[in-house]
């Protein structure tokens, strides 16, 4: 069965993410600009939810279905100013014969200078990834293509996952992603604001990472072109601005 032809969201992964988030965070919904509310057409449909919370500038939950091509289930979370805990990127792309699992905790500091960043923020994620890796690898598409730079911090995080899998591993992939989200919420809970003297330099770096590096790498990927083929470039550009900031 070609899952890209399905019009209903039978996975309900976005609903599961929202339940986890609401259990741990006092989520505040953010308005979605009118010009990016695409809805549904004969080509596909799109649904965007935006939130903020203490220590978090923005959380995005996004579903995008291009009928006969791809079904995407996306969760992104960005730390607020003065907080340097990692951003989170979770994505699941359903294709006709396989799906792509994306998971990353994206460092917001330069790891070459902040040697303690891994121990403070990334060790828990590595433990989750190590525990799940054998189960995920059992379903990997062979031959395994080289990993793209998509959804990866510019230092090339060795923990970034962009894995093509057979549909036999769909339930394991969903469970893994939910556990990664729980891990990120643990990191959020323990995060403290940076010392006053470090905030200006960090906030500038954070702005560059979110608005330029991460937004640009996403925008220049095939994802934006597929989305634009369904909703048009005006709506696509509006969605990117809503997710990453103008």
The two beta strands, 56-66 and 70-79, are antiparallel
pLDDT attached to residue 150: 46
pLDDT band at 51 (very low <50, low <70, confident <90, very high): very high
Cβ count within 10 A of residue 164:
18
pLDDT at 157 over 70: no
Domains and CATH numbers, the chain: 3-244 (3.40.1500.20)
In order of 93, 113, 166, 202, the CA distances from 223 in angstroms are 10, 33, 20, 29
Contact 170, 94 (CB under 8 A): no
Percent of the chain predicted with pLDDT > 70? 93
Mean pLDDT, to the nearest integer, of 130-144? 89
3-state secondary structure the chain: CCHHHCCCCCCCHHHHHHHHHHHHCCCEEECCCHHHCCEECCCEEEEEEEEEECCEEEEEEEEEEECCCEEEEEEEEEECCCCCCCEEEEEEEECCCCEEEEEEEECCCCCCCCCCHHHHHHHHHHHHHHHHHHHHHCCECCCCCCCCCCCCCCCCCCCCEEEEECHHHHHHHHHHHHHHHHHHHHHHHHCCCCCHHHHHHHHHHHHHHHHHHHHHHHHCCHHHHHHHHHHCHHHHHHHHHHHHCC
pLDDT attached to residue 62: 92
As a dihedral over the C-alpha atoms of residue 219, residue 73, residue 91, residue 170, rounded to 10 degrees, the angle is -150
pLDDT digits (tens, 9 = 90+) for 171-226: 999 999 999 999 999 999 999 999 999 999 999 999 888 877 777 777 777 778 88
Averaged confidence pLDDT in the chain: 87
pLDDT attached to residue 166: 95
pLDDT attached to residue 146: 61
Q: Which residue has the higher pLDDT, 114 or 51?
A: 51
Cβ count within 10 A of residue 106:
24
The pair phi, psi for residue 110, each rounded to 5°, is -75, 115
pLDDT attached to residue 168: 96
pLDDT attached to residue 199: 97
Cβ count within 10 A of residue 75:
28
């Amino acid at each position: 069965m070609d899952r890209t032809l399905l019009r209903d969201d039978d996975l309900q992964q976005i609903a599961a993410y929202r339940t986890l988030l609401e259990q741990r965070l006092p989520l505040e919904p953010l308005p979605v600009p009118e010009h990016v509310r695409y809805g549904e057409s004969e080509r596909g449909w799109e649904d965007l939810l935006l939130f903020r919370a203490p220590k978090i500038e923005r959380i995005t939950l996004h579903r995008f279905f291009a009928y006969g091509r791809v079904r995407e289930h996306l969760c992104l979370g960005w730390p607020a100013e003065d907080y340097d805990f990692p951003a989170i990127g979770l994505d699941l792309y359903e294709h006709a014969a396989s799906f792509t699992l994306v998971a990353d905790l994206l460092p917001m500091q330069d790891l070459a200078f902040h040697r303690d960043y891994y121990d403070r923020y990334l060790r828990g994620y590595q433990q989750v990834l190590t525990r799940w890796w054998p189960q995920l690898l059992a379903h990997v598409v062979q031959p395994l293509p080289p990993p793209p730079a998509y959804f990866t911090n510019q230092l090339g995080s060795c923990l970034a996952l962009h894995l093509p899998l057979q549909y036999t591993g769909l339930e394991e992939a969903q469970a893994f992603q939910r556990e990664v989200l729980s891990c990120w919420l643990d990191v959020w809970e323990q995060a403290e604001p940076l010392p006053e003297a470090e905030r200006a330099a960090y906030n500038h770096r954070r702005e560059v990472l979110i608005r330029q590096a991460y937004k640009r790498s996403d925008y220049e990927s095939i994802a934006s072109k597929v989305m634009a083929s369904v909703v048009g470039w005006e709506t696509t550009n509006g969605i990117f601005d809503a997710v990453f900031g103008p």
